[in-house]
Amino acid sequence: MRKSLLIIVVLVFACGLLSAAPKKQLPAWETEEEKAASQAKKIPFNLQLRTPPQEIPYGPPEYGAMAGVVIQIPTGWSQLDDYYGAMAQGIVAAGAKPYIIVANTSEKNSVMTDALTPYGVAESDVEFYTYPYDANWTRDYGPWMIYTNGRTARAVVDHHYYDERSNDDAIPVKLGAAWIDEVFVSGFYTEGGNFMTDGLGTCWMSTGVFEKNNLQDTEQNRATVAQLFKQYVGCDRVFFPVSIPGEGTTHIDMYSKILNQDTIIVSYSSSEWGADAGELAQLETAAELYGSIEKPGGGKYTIVRIPMTYGGSWFGTTYYTHTNSLIVNDHVLVPIYGKGTDEEALQIYRDLMPGYTIIGIDSNEIIPQGGSIHCTTMQIPPEQYKECGDGVIAGGEECEPLYLGGETCVTLGYTSGDLACNDDCTFDETDCVTLESCGNGTIDAGELCDGNTIACTDIAGKDYIDGTATCQPSCGAWDESDCKSDTPDDTPQPDDTTEGEFPDDAFPEGPTDIDDQSDLEPDVPSDFDFAGSDDTIPADAPASDDDTVIVPDSGKRAVEAGCGCSVLF
């Protein structure tokens, strides 16, 4: 009898332990077991049901205004409490709201007690959503946000996440319903960590998207994918840098990040830091590709290199990346690791993003699982779009509240001072200093003009054909707003190697419920050929020259030169 009671007690205790055990942590990449299990479920690319917007939408960049950030805080994993607590604290400090996914009320209480309250984050600072979930990689399965109907309505794009993580895959649709945002389903297998845009129609994703969709990496399939992303996210052109060899996610946020419409940071490493020859070559090739691209407004992107070390863990190679950061309004949350590169990385962000608060967050507990701050967050822009505040200097804007486009008081013709941006996206020159002689009607030493006008055709170094320029109040520059040029506008045009000549209705529309198999017959134009359907990409598959150029490792990072050009040395 005593033995029977002992067995019962042990069983009850064991069951109690099992019920309290944390959910199994899934890495950021699709495991081999998940891949094997999903093969029978995958719908071929050309049979996917698609519901694109009726018109080309606008895809905002990450550095635009943000209303909130979607995160999922695992419970029962106390080693991650500080990571998520510091992250939530930074999001709130930036004036955004953490949208936290929990499975039930018990998890909500645990998140508050263990992660948020110790960091001064109150329940009123956050918003909880009770949904079943599989993992915490909200960047990858979370909603991609766009603006439709002439940027008057916010909407959700729902791409397809890993088949074996169906709870996560369902969350974008649920959030769209909660926010009363229309949802557009693409059926495309991809993750948010493998995409970035400059907000002006230029987009990037790695070549890993082809393998995810069982497509060969060919020029034709590149054009097909680019056209899909034009329909869903507003990409005028798409570029495909290669992935880090052997890195499971294939995501570009592991080694690159766009900070503003002019500047991209790309990782650099060395053999002393654990990188092998293939990894070093990939980083240099990616940097060269980014630096070769013409910006929509002319000139090249400035490429600045940032350190990354390599290490080992129970999951395999660990990539201690500093590009896996989150820009949320006027704050930047940067992963740090104590590996000797933190201060250099943080200083690069400070130098490139003046006016932002740069916060380093210890990410050692999360990074071995294949991602960090960027991978565990998905930013949500405001419900109402505002051109001034979207992070992009465009149209008649002179600046953005957090970005001056490289201009300073000196470049505007003043002798010194601090330039700022007004709420209407015009320059605030209040603190700029002019020459004492400015305003006397005479062009004195150090002045370009003084109260006078000039024919635009007479301005040195410019190619105007008509108009009159007036002297700016600084006496150091001309106001050329009325000058006329015969050069074409800077509207991005399709790139022959990245965007196909497919009509906007090239993809079939259909019901969003993929369980309705009766509608899975192809509805694709006869000339819309999807080359390749194998699980692997043949070694001899044609690919862009951009992705095969090998640039020797210089061992040095590039630096900001203030020239608006690519700096690679």
The answer to whether position 117 is within a domain reads no
| In a shared domain, residues 364 and 433 | no
At 353, list the tokens: 């993003």
| In a shared domain, residues 378 and 443 | no
Report how many helices (DSSP H) and strands (DSSP E) the chain contains, helices first. 11, 25
* Residues across the chain: 569
The answer to whether position 48 is within a domain reads no
The answer to whether position 247 is within a domain reads yes
| In a shared domain, residues 176 and 324 | yes
Distance CA 547, CA 355 (A): 35
Distance CA 184, CA 10 (A): 51
At 154, list the tokens: 């916010």
| In a shared domain, residues 203 and 331 | yes
The answer to whether position 145 is within a domain reads yes
Range of the domain at 250: 57-72+133-390+493-514+521-547
Distance CA 290, CA 304 (A): 10
State the CATH number of the domain containing residue 336: 3.75.10.10
Strands 484-485 and 468-471: unpaired
The answer to whether position 564 is within a domain reads no
Q: Which residues contact 149 (CB under 8 A, 6 or more apart)?
A: 55
| In a shared domain, residues 210 and 280 | yes
Distance CA 288, CA 254 (A): 17
The answer to whether position 82 is within a domain reads no
Contact 297, 303 (CB under 8 A): no
| In a shared domain, residues 542 and 473 | no
Q: Return the bridge partners of 417, or none.
A: 432
| In a shared domain, residues 177 and 306 | yes
Contact 237, 267 (CB under 8 A): no
AA letter at 460: A
Q: In what order do the strands lie in the sheet with 331-336?
A: 326-328, 331-336, 357-362
The answer to whether position 497 is within a domain reads yes
Q: What is the pLDDT along the chain (569 residues), one digit of tens a residue?
A: 433 433 333 333 333 333 334 567 899 999 999 999 988 788 888 889 999 999 999 999 999 999 999 999 999 889 999 999 999 999 999 999 999 999 999 999 999 999 999 999 999 999 999 999 999 999 999 999 999 999 999 999 999 999 999 999 999 999 999 999 999 999 999 999 999 999 999 999 999 999 999 999 999 999 999 999 999 999 999 999 999 999 999 999 999 999 999 999 999 999 999 999 999 999 999 999 999 999 998 999 999 999 999 998 666 899 999 999 999 999 999 999 999 999 999 999 999 999 999 999 999 999 999 999 999 999 999 999 999 999 999 999 999 999 999 999 999 989 899 999 999 999 999 999 987 778 888 888 778 898 889 999 998 878 889 999 999 888 888 888 889 877 444 444 333 334 433 434 444 443 334 333 333 333 333 333 333 333 333 333 333 333 322 222 333 333 333 323 233 32
Going by the DSSP 8-state scheme, the letter that residue 113 receives in this structure is I
| In a shared domain, residues 505 and 440 | no
Say if residue 129 is exposed, middle or buried (CB neighbours under 10 Å; 0-12, 13-18, 19+): middle
- Whole-model pTM over 0.85: no
Distance CA 319, CA 60 (A): 28
The answer to whether position 348 is within a domain reads yes
| In a shared domain, residues 224 and 275 | yes
Distance CA 82, CA 121 (A): 12
pLDDT at 22: 55
Q: Which residues contact 527 (CB under 8 A, 6 or more apart)?
A: none
Domain count for the chain, please give it: 2
| In a shared domain, residues 281 and 356 | yes
| In a shared domain, residues 226 and 369 | yes
* Nearest alpha carbon to residue 358 among 319, 327, 323: 327
Contact 80, 50 (CB under 8 A): no
φ, ψ at 91 (rounded to 5°): -65, -45
At 567, list the tokens: 């700096």
Distance CA 50, CA 514 (A): 10
Q: What is the 3-state secondary structure (H, E, C) of 409-469?
A: CCCCCCCEEEEEECCCCCEEEEEEECCCCCCCCCCCCCCCCCCCEEEHHHCCCCCEEECEE
| In a shared domain, residues 341 and 453 | no
Q: Burial letters for 51-81: b for 16+ Cβ neighbours within 10 Å, e otherwise?
A: bbbeebbbbbbbbbbbbbbbbbbbbebeebb
pLDDT at 486: 72
Distance CA 111, CA 143 (A): 22
